[in-house]
Amino acid sequence: MTKYKVIIYWSEEDQTYIAEVPELAGCKADGSSYQEAVSNAERVIAEWIETAIEQGWYIPEPKGRRLFTHCCAIARKHPLVVVICIMLVVFSFYFANFHHGFSYTKGDWGTFGDYVGGILNPVIAAFAFYLIAETYKLQIKAYDLQKTELEETRKLLKVSTDAQNDQVKLAALTALLNLNLTNISHIHSESSELWNEMKGSKKENEEIAEVVRGLYTESGRLVDENNKFKDQIEFFLSKETE
């Protein structure tokens, strides 16, 4: 069971339950049922932490739901109830000190005002501190999300750059292969023409035969070179299909 807070809600757009983990940037899952969304969220959280460990990312500690945070959440959801409670507390303090009715003495009201202010000021200060802390946490989450997106963008750029480099190498190998095939064709044509010219003296025929042997040697070298080019081309093509 995860210790991270998971927020689950129904998405009308996707027609599924969405489970978000606000403490882990970009970590969310879905499911056709409430239970499935929770189960998938557990798996995604484990994968998120595993990836973060591999990439060296910061892993926030699970904060849980503290009493103060719970009270602030209730205050945000039901502000009118909070105001009524504060008013009840103030009136309770009033009647506890002035149980004989309303006082018309300014000194009594001044003392009572200082008393109530002394109670409300720490509450207001604590709520303000909570708002500051929430703003700071939102900034941290935004920074973590931007960092994660930046890392993903870098990975995509690297993959794109590698693919472009492979395309350039593939085009160059294909051009060299075609050039060698053209040269081999020319060599064969030239060799055929030279064989047809072997009608002169023995010395001339030997010279022509020597040239032809040289052409066949060059043709063999080009064929071997083309075989290497073909192997490299097949390697790049296999990378594209992965």
In angstroms, the CA 11 to CA 31 distance is 10
* pTM of the full structure: 0.34
| Closest by CA position to 35, among listed 19, 23, 22, 46 | 19
CA angle 222, 223, 224 (to 5 degrees): 90
pLDDT greater at residue 82 or residue 218: 218
pLDDT at 224 over 70: yes
| pLDDT surpassing 80 at residue 149 | no
For residue range 59-108, list pLDDT tens digits in order.
Answer: 887 775 554 555 656 666 666 776 677 677 766 766 666 555 555 666 66
CA distances (Å), origin 34, targets 6, 21, 23: 12, 15, 20
Name the percent of the chain lying above pLDDT 90: 2
Tell me the per-residue pLDDT of 150-206, one tens digit each, with 9 for 90 and over: 777 777 777 777 777 777 887 888 888 888 888 888 888 887 877 776 666 677 777
The whole-angstrom separation of Cα 217 and Cα 132 is: 82
For range 13-26, the mean pLDDT: 87
Q: How many CB atoms lie within 10 A of CB 177?
A: 19
CB 9 within 8 A of CB 31: no
Q: What percent of the chain has pLDDT over 70?
A: 73
- In the predicted model, what is the mean pLDDT of residues 121-147? 76
Q: Which of 185, 205, 189, 188 is closest to 197 using CA atoms?
A: 205
Q: What is the mean pLDDT of residues 124-134?
A: 77
Gyration radius of the chain over CA positions: 41
